[in-house]
Amino acid sequence: MKLRINNSELKPYFQHKELLKKAGRLAKKLLKSRQYTKKEVLAVYEQLVQTPEDYVKDEVFGEIAELTLALQPIVPEKDMPFYSLRDEALPYQVFGEAGIGKNALDQMEVAMKLPVTVAGALMPDAHQGYGLPIGGVLATEADKIIPYAVGVDIACRMSLSVFDIESTYLEQRKPTFKNYLGEHTYFGIAAKNDQPLEDAIWEHPGWNTIPFVKSLLAKAQKQIGTSGTGNHFVEWGFLEVLENSADLAYLPKGKYVALLSHSGSRGFGANIANHYTQLAREMTGLPREAQHLAWLDLATAEGQEYWIAMNLAGAYAQACHQQIHRRLAKALGKKPLLTIENHHNFAWKEQLPNGQEVMVHRKGATPAHKGELGIIPASMLEPGFIVRGRGEKAALQSASHGAGRAMSRRKARNTFTMHEIKKQLQQKGIKLMGGDVDESPGAYKNINEVMNAQQDLVDILARFIPRVVRMAEAEQNKKGWEG
């Protein structure tokens, strides 16, 4: 299958027709030569449109940068409102600042200058993203929502099922548990169902409320119960209960067989993100460095549509996880004792301590209200954590969503090999199905350092220790969704 990128995927970055055309040609050329992956091209373009002057001398992207400076409008059409940024960023708390790169801090500074921003915080797993950094938490005025502050993979989600099975059972039967994953999980951008699966999600009124959402129904039906690429996974492991509490259904201290999954709203959510980000940019004029933080007003039809679509994507992501967990529980022949789940990449209507109503965007951040349970995974090599939120006000009642990347995907591919990764996993008794070099454990921050930086944000109740991990195959990460 040919690698491909459509001009519609580049529209959030390039509005001028000539610029869009040339950027599309260059992208296709780079993909064909396999110099860049699709994700890398989009990541460069996202940065290029914000600071094209940084790319003018670049051997690959210099021509596009020059054309961007010449043609790309900083301000929207004159009949659209233009908003200047604040002269100074609003103050915000950074947790684990020593482990956060300058690019992520710079992105957060821009977000805190938006005229609609009220408060913010940066989690210790933070790293550069699109618009708002991954690990960024941003509170805006209650009626303003920023699609790219939610993220492309809307409602990316963690889900855990715990079974009344001792850990030794899994250790003795790893090949069996590997077969369960091989037979009942489906990965990759092109993963799909041959027949639509029954699910209550199809009764949701949102499918028929918005024509654009309705046009995505067939794709959503094909992809439900499947998992994406990159760092998305389904894995068997042990849940080591550290505290006997009502939060964990009074499970006695010890190790239990558990199933953990991480994925989001698939192509359905990504299409919503790109479509409404483009609408936001057309309706909200901002300086170039902030254009990916354009917002929608909930008082408009477009804002209401995005709010409905985002919440539907959240329900869809939950349904995807439930499909996966039901299939594997059935294969195991056991019902779970306990389930825990949480979103990240979402926006919630909440109140600040002073009573002000706001829209809280958690992009790659876990909700951590007082007493709220959440899941913070690490890499495939290290334990993740089941946590209870402490409701820390300075963090906008949030915590990290994982360890966070310490290096880019391209740098990881140039640094590690699959042979090295599999050797590390073998030494720890972990079996890996699929996976790619850019998901090497070495590409991630130290999870213990991340957890130490957020002791005021969460309490640790249990640890999840991976034993059999499935991710998308390297080749699946390169295939485009054609559905």
Q: Contact 309/215 with Cβ under 8 angstroms? A: no
Q: Are residues 25 and 170 in the same domain?
A: no
β-pair type (431-435, 458-473): parallel
Q: Are residues 43 and 162 in the same domain?
A: no
| Domain C-terminal end among 71, 93, 119 | 71
Report which residue type is found at 480.
G
Q: Are residues 311 and 206 in the same domain?
A: yes
Q: What angle do CA 107, 112, 116 make, to 5 degrees?
A: 125
Question: Is position 385 within any domain?
Answer: yes
Integer angstrom CA distances of residue 414 from 102, 249, 317: 22, 45, 33
The domain spanning residue 247 has which CATH number? Answer: 3.90.1860.10
Q: Are residues 353 and 450 in the same domain?
A: yes
Question: Is position 216 within any domain?
Answer: yes
| Domain C-terminal end among 18, 45, 71 | 71
Of 480, 361, 432, 425, the closest CA to residue 4 belongs to: 480
Q: Which residues pair with 93 in a beta bridge?
A: 121
Q: Contact 471/435 with Cβ under 8 angstroms? A: yes
Please list, in sequence order, all residues whose beta carbon lies within 8 angstroms of the beta carbon of residue 199, skipping any fewer than 6 positions away.
224, 319, 322, 323
Output the pLDDT for position 104.
Answer: 94
Question: Is position 87 within any domain?
Answer: no
| Domain C-terminal end among 48, 71, 94 | 71
**Tokens 């958690």, located at residue:** 362
Q: Are residues 62 and 179 in the same domain?
A: no
Q: Are residues 49 and 176 in the same domain?
A: no
The span from the CA of 447 to the CA of 344, in Å, is 18
Question: Is position 107 within any domain?
Answer: no
Q: Contact 107/136 with Cβ under 8 angstroms? A: yes
HSE of 301, CA atoms in CB hemisphere, 13 A: 4
Question: Is position 331 within any domain?
Answer: yes
User: How many residues appear in the chain?
Assistant: 483
Question: Is position 98 within any domain?
Answer: no
Q: Are residues 388 and 263 in the same domain?
A: yes
Q: Are residues 178 and 307 in the same domain?
A: yes
β-pair type (296-297, 398-400): unpaired
Integer angstrom CA distances of residue 302 from 199, 307, 314, 317, 460: 28, 9, 18, 22, 40
Structural domain boundaries enclosing 57 = 7-71
pLDDT in 10s for each residue of the chain, 483 residues: 345 788 888 887 887 888 888 999 999 888 888 778 888 898 888 888 877 877 877 888 988 988 887 776 554 555 678 899 999 999 999 999 999 999 999 999 999 999 999 999 999 999 988 889 999 999 999 999 999 999 999 999 999 999 999 999 999 999 999 999 999 999 987 888 888 799 999 999 999 999 999 999 999 999 999 999 889 999 999 999 998 889 998 899 999 999 999 999 999 999 999 899 989 998 999 988 898 899 999 999 999 999 999 999 999 999 999 999 999 999 999 999 999 999 999 999 999 999 999 999 999 999 999 999 999 999 999 999 999 999 999 999 999 999 999 998 888 989 999 999 999 999 999 999 999 999 999 999 999 999 999 999 999 999 999 999 999 988 665 443 322
What's the structural domain count of the chain? 2
Q: Contact 240/255 with Cβ under 8 angstroms? A: yes
Output the pLDDT for position 347.
Answer: 98
Residue 478 falls in which region: left (phi positive, over 0), alpha (psi -120 to 50) or beta: alpha
Q: Are residues 29 and 175 in the same domain?
A: no
β-pair type (357-363, 134-141): antiparallel
Q: Are residues 206 and 350 in the same domain?
A: yes
Q: How many CB atoms lie within 10 A of CB 354?
A: 6
Output the pLDDT for position 480.
Answer: 39
Question: Is position 176 within any domain?
Answer: yes
Q: Are residues 292 and 176 in the same domain?
A: yes
Question: Is position 136 within any domain?
Answer: no
The span from the CA of 467 to the CA of 464, in Å, is 10
pTM exceeds cut of 0.75? yes
In this structure, what token pair is assigned to residue 268? Answer: 């359905």
The span from the CA of 469 to the CA of 467, in Å, is 7
Q: Contact 189/473 with Cβ under 8 angstroms? A: no
The span from the CA of 392 to the CA of 375, in Å, is 17
- DSSP annotation of 438: G
Of 46, 35, 37, the closest CA to residue 10 belongs to: 46
Please list, in sequence order, all residues whose beta carbon lies within 8 angstroms of the beta carbon of residue 219, skipping any fewer than 6 positions away.
266, 267, 268, 271, 481, 483
Q: Are residues 185 and 288 in the same domain?
A: yes
Please list, in sequence order, all residues whose beta carbon lies within 8 angstroms of the beta carbon of residue 325, skipping any fewer than 6 positions away.
159, 161, 259, 261, 336, 339
